[in-house]
Structure 1
Amino acid sequence: MSENHLPPEALDHWADALREHFDLSAEDVPISLILNLAKDVANGVARPAAPFSAFVAGLVAGRRGGSPEDIRSAVADVAKLAGEWQG
Structure 2
Amino acid sequence: MSTHLPPEALDAWAEALRETFGLGADDIPIPLILDMARDVAVGVARPAAPLSAFIAGLVAGRGGGSPEQVRATVAEITSLAGGWRSEG
**Fold shared per TM-score above 0.5:** yes
Shift of 1:25: 1.1
TM-score between both structures, scaled by the size of structure 1: 0.93
* Counterpart for residue 65 of structure 2: 66
Q: Distance in 2 between matches of 1:38 and 1:5?
A: 17
Between the aligned partners of 1:70 and 1:42, the Cα distance in structure 2 is: 22
Which amino acid in the other structure matches residue 69 of structure 1? E
SS state of the match for residue 13, structure 2? helix
Unaligned 5+ segments in structure 2 are: none
2:36 maps to: 37
Name stretches of at least 5 consecutive residues in structure 1 with no aligned partner.
Answer: none
The count of corresponding residues between Structure 1 and Structure 2 is: 86
* Structure 2 counterparts to residues 1-87 of structure 1, below 5 A: 3-87=2-86
From the superposition, tell whether residues 6 and 26 of structure 1 become closer, same or farther in structure 2 (CA, over 3 Å): same
The aligned amino acid for 2:27 is D
**Identity across the alignment (%):** 66
Query: What's the C-alpha RMSD, in Å, of the aligned pairs?
Result: 1.2
Q: Please list every run of at least 4 consecutive aligned residues from structure 1 whose deviation after the TM superposition is greater than 3 angstroms.
A: none
Which amino acid in structure 2 is aligned with residue 17 of structure 1? Answer: A
